[in-house]
């Protein structure tokens, strides 16, 4: 369950593979057992593009008051945001008249090759490079929930709002399944600690900072990541530490202050430890990766924070590269004796654009560029800003 965005290894598959040593049936094409999380992450985060341009129904079923054409037209005209609220139209498409919006719909939504081109019409507001080794940057990203006043929660009579002001909320889904973990019985059971299984969790500022530190450690250890699935997935490696889980999950496992400590502790009668890899009862079970079989029996409960719970709200903005760069340069002047008599520092912010170096190669083309200038230099860069720096700014 909850495979997408998670990365925990399965004991049924070797640490360095995504299929068992013995295939069943006996071919890669028909084998029924895979590392499903590994495969799903690669397919959905690397091979597919989710535009979030979709019909807007008001209820379940066939009711669709706004079709896909209307949704995209209103998005281009600035009258609505898409489901992925971080997406913005490129400047050429922003707030255009209805006649121009109709042309865009024909070319990029309803045409036979629109699915190959539509990604070129978006920019991402606040895109974050997961190869960052800045603890402060990761801390700011993980602390995004403190801007929320309320979150949606499943109440006794349906979905309700619950106050979470100034809290670092982590929830399994966009609608929390119960009250905050550890604050009472809630809806999940009659006993006092029921919400430890079913509720949403609130990480302390200290835990958020520690999570940022641990993720940076994992980025330095495993990176640089060349794709999002490489960042999310465990490594196919003989190193058990790298093979057990991905970067964020490993960081969660290494937190100094465990947010699931009360749930995990067998003394609280909420959960128990699964068998250790050297337990004699495991003799002959045929596990391919025994270390992946140990853990807690409460693992996977809604209140058990997993990697996907951390990544779900930030997935729309994360990337493995930057498109905007800050470049600083230094120069000096010397007299005839080689003594420095003047110094200067400058700073430029440049942005990679969608346009190729040579205009004959269209930015929306579905085939590789053909002009030598484009094949050599790729896309154009735009100078966003430039300023001279004082010595105390360097």
pLDDT single digits (tens) 111-142: 999 999 999 999 999 899 999 999 999 999 99
The answer to whether the bond into 25 is cis (omega within 30° of 0) is: yes
Residue where one domain finishes, among candidates 293, 318, 343: 318
Predicted local distance difference test score (pLDDT) of residue 184: 86
Q: What is the pLDDT of residues 336-388, one digit of tens each?
A: 999 999 999 999 999 999 999 999 999 999 899 999 999 999 999 999 999 99
Mean pLDDT in residue range 302-314: 95
Quick one: 186 and 251 in the same domain? yes
Residue where one domain finishes, among candidates 318, 335, 361: 318
Write the DSSP assignment of 89-104 as a string of letters: E-GGGTT--HHHHHHH
Q: For residue 262, give its domain range.
A: 135-318
Mean pLDDT in residue range 38-61: 88
| pLDDT of 73 higher than 80 | yes
Quick one: 222 and 339 in the same domain? no
Q: Is residue 386 part of a domain?
A: yes
Q: What is the pLDDT of residues 247-281, one digit of tens each?
A: 999 999 999 999 999 998 888 888 888 877 677 87
Q: Is residue 36 part of a domain?
A: no
Quick one: 178 and 306 in the same domain? yes
Predicted local distance difference test score (pLDDT) of residue 167: 93
| pLDDT of 42 higher than 90 | yes
Give the helix/strand (H/E) hosting 36: helix 36-41
Quick one: 378 and 310 in the same domain? no
- The model's confidence at residue 75, banded by pLDDT at 50, 70 and 90, is very high
Report the alpha-carbon distance of residue 331 to residue 52 in Å, rounded: 47
CA distances from 223 to 24, 39, 234 (A): 34, 20, 12
Q: Shortest CA distance to 341 belongs to which of 351, 350, 349, 331?
A: 331
The answer to whether the bond into 108 is cis (omega within 30° of 0) is: no
Quick one: 251 and 169 in the same domain? yes
- The tally of domains found in the chain comes to 2
- The model's confidence at residue 64, banded by pLDDT at 50, 70 and 90, is low
Pick the more confident residue, 156 or 201. Answer: 201
* Percentage with pLDDT > 90 across the chain: 72
Residue where one domain finishes, among candidates 277, 302, 318: 318
| pLDDT of 329 higher than 70 | yes
């Amino acid at each position: 369950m909850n495979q997408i965005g998670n990365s925990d290894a399965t004991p049924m598959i070797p640490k360095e593979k995504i299929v068992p040593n013995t295939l069943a049936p006996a071919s890669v094409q028909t084998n029924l057992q895979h590392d499903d999380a590994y495969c799903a992450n690669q397919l959905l985060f690397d091979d597919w593009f989710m535009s979030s341009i979709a019909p807007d129904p008001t209820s379940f079923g066939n009711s669709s008051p706004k079709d896909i054409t209307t949704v995209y037209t209103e998005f281009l005209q600035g009258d609505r945001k898409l489901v992925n609220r971080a997406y913005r139209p490129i400047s050429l498409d922003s707030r255009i008249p209805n006649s121009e919006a109709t042309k865009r719909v024909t070319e990029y939504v309803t045409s036979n090759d629109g699915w190959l081109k539509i990604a070129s019409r978006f920019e991402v507001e606040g895109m974050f490079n997961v190869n960052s080794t800045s603890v402060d940057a990761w801390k700011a990203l993980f602390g995004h929930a403190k801007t929320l006043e309320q979150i949606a929660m499943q109440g006794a009579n349906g979905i309700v709002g619950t106050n979470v002001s100034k809290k670092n909320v982590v929830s399994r889904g966009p609608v929390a399944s119960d009250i905050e973990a550890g604050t009472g019985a809630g809806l999940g059971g009659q006993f006092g600690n029921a919400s430890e299984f079913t509720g949403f969790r609130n990480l302390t500022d200290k835990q958020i900072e520690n999570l940022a530190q641990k993720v940076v450690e994992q980025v330095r250890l495993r990176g640089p990541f060349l794709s999002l699935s490489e960042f999310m997935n465990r490594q196919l490696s003989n190193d058990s530490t790298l093979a057990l889980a991905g970067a964020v999950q490993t960081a969660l496992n290494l937190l100094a202050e465990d947010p699931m400590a009360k749930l995990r502790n067998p003394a609280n009668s909420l959960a128990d430890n699964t068998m250790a890899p050297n337990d004699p009862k495991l003799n002959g079970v045929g596990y391919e990766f025994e270390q992946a079989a140990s853990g807690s029996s409460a693992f996977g409960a809604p209140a058990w924070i997993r990697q996907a719970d951390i990544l779900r709200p930030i997935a729309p903005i994360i990337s493995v590269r930057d498109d905007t760069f800050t470049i600083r340069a230094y120069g000096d002047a010397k007299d005839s004796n080689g003594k420095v008599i003047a110094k200067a520092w400058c700073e430029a912010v440049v942005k990679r654009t969608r346009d190729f170096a040579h205009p004959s190669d269209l930015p929306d083309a579905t085939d590789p560029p053909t002009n030598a200038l484009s094949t050599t230099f790729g896309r154009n860069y735009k100078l966003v800003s430039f300023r001279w720096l004082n010595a105390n700014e360097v």
